[in-house]
Copies of this chain bind each other. A is one copy, B any other.
Amino acid sequence: MTKFSQAQSELTALLGDRLTLADGVRDVHGSDESWQPAVAPEAVAFPETTAEVAEIVKICSARGVPMIPYGIGSAVEGGIVATRGGLCIDLSGMHEIRAIHPEDLDAVVDAGVTHVALNERLEGSQLFFSVDPGAAATIGGMAATRASGSNAFRYGTMRENVLGLEVVLADGRVIHTSRRARKSAAGYDLTRLFVGSEGTLGIITAVTVRLHRVPEALSSAVCPFPDVAAAVKTVIQTIQAGIPLARMELLDEAALQAVNAYSGLDYAPAPTLFLEFQGTEQGVVEQSQRVARIAAEQGGTDFQWATDAAQRNKLWQARHDAYYAIIESRPGSRSVTTDVCVPISRLAECIAETRRDLQECSLPCPMLGHVGDGNFHVLFLVDPNRLEELAEAEHFNSRMVQRALDMEGTCSGEHGIGLGKREFLQQEHGAAWDVMRSIKATLDPQNVMNPGKVFAD
């Protein structure tokens, strides 16, 4: 009898048919968007309130049942794979927008609310929530992975955009990490401790997020460059000139071709920047002119502008779908997705060395990135059944991480550690890694909260 089966009757008494052992449901919850082999949980729970989550956690903790919080499974490092069995806790049934405070520029949402749903709700209010990963991820999942996206350059990541969390701890206690004041110097910053903890310290049941005002004017553009280096130089010079762009995204030629094919577009097949300008009418015009001049010096002259909302949305939808587009470009493939981030001063060098290195790679490996933050992804498209392909991808991924660490960068700019980057985490942090482990041991002494993730056990 597994630990879970000892807890099953109590869980059923609590949840009724919102606890399921059906194969189909378990299978869906056994893999995310990564290449990591699927392992289904023993059951899936669909709580609808914080109190229910707390009860579930108490029942599971009493029996030592591993618990895996689940948003929509869009993450890419295997964070929800049930490698230790146990119960998947799917937060999608907690989808209430609890409050919107326009005067305070914040909103309080259940963990299962997606960034898409929150922004739909905000339509017409002149406010928006800025963090925008390409998938329709839950805000709880995004807090858990410290997600970012194309807006992070201007508006920050989940680190900057979470004001407070409601969390169920491993022993079932419910805490609130912070009040709603904009700033506080009262005690340890538990908010930031749980942001990025990937379900290993507790289950996030609600998130207070910052909102931002929709800018007066918005304008987007796509511009091809003769080569990747020219595009990256344009980005760096733009940052250094202090031009306050909102978004600066790079797709290399292969990524752009995949996007063209997937989204039925006909952008020139070249390394391309996707840009967004925000501000006052006049500010946007000024910014655009300055960036156009910088780009022209690098051979980027063919700007395609999108100013009305429909055009802009189309452009950014294409960018957001790039991940899916790239995967479809090799049917049946999964992606080993790299995620390094380096200081801007090292970005050009890091990308150039990476591209030189990848000349020896036999796999398709398009590149794209939030280059304004120094963050870029190479997607190694592997046939998940061919171990030698996985090994090759892992080989080049390791080298990329090593290169980033040598340049004072990080192994993960935004995707998190999950199963895929546990060894890199230790290498990156050294003695600080031991501190992280000791915090994990303190808050989850039985190792039941998403065990085996972030740290190997």
Contacts and interface: CB of A to CB of B under 8 A. Distances in A.
A168 to B, nearest CB: 11
B283 A436 contact: no
Contacts of A280: 283, 286
A105 to B, nearest CB: 8
A431 B173 contact: yes
Interface centre among A181, A413, A440, by most chain B C-beta atoms within 10 angstroms, is A181
Nearest to A370: B183
A430 B159 contact: no
21 contacts: A103-B344, A157-B183, A157-B185, A176-B430, A176-B432, A179-B428, A181-B342, A181-B374, A181-B408, A181-B409, A184-B341, A184-B412, A185-B196, A185-B416, A185-B417, A186-B424, A187-B417, A187-B433, A187-B454, A189-B195, A438-B443
A375 B183 contact: yes
A344 to B, nearest CB: 5
Contacts of A403: none
Nearest to A200: B188
Contacts of A428: 179, 186-187
A177 interface: yes
A213 interface: yes
Contacts of A173: 431, 434
B157 A103 contact: no
A436 to B, nearest CB: 5
* Copies of this chain, whole number: 2
B343 A104 contact: yes
Nearest to A344: B104
A175 B411 contact: no
A80 to B, nearest CB: 16
A293 interface: no
A145 interface: yes
Interface centre among A343, A435, A443, by most chain B C-beta atoms within 10 angstroms, is A435
Contacts of A145: 185
Given A213-B242, A432-B175, A414 B185 contact: yes
Contacts of A283: 280, 283
Given A181-B341, A185-B416, A186-B410, 14 more contacts: A157-B185, A159-B183, A159-B189, A176-B429, A177-B432, A181-B374, A184-B341, A185-B412, A187-B432, A187-B433, A188-B201, A188-B440, A189-B192, A193-B193
Interface centre among A183, A187, A213, by most chain B C-beta atoms within 10 angstroms, is A187
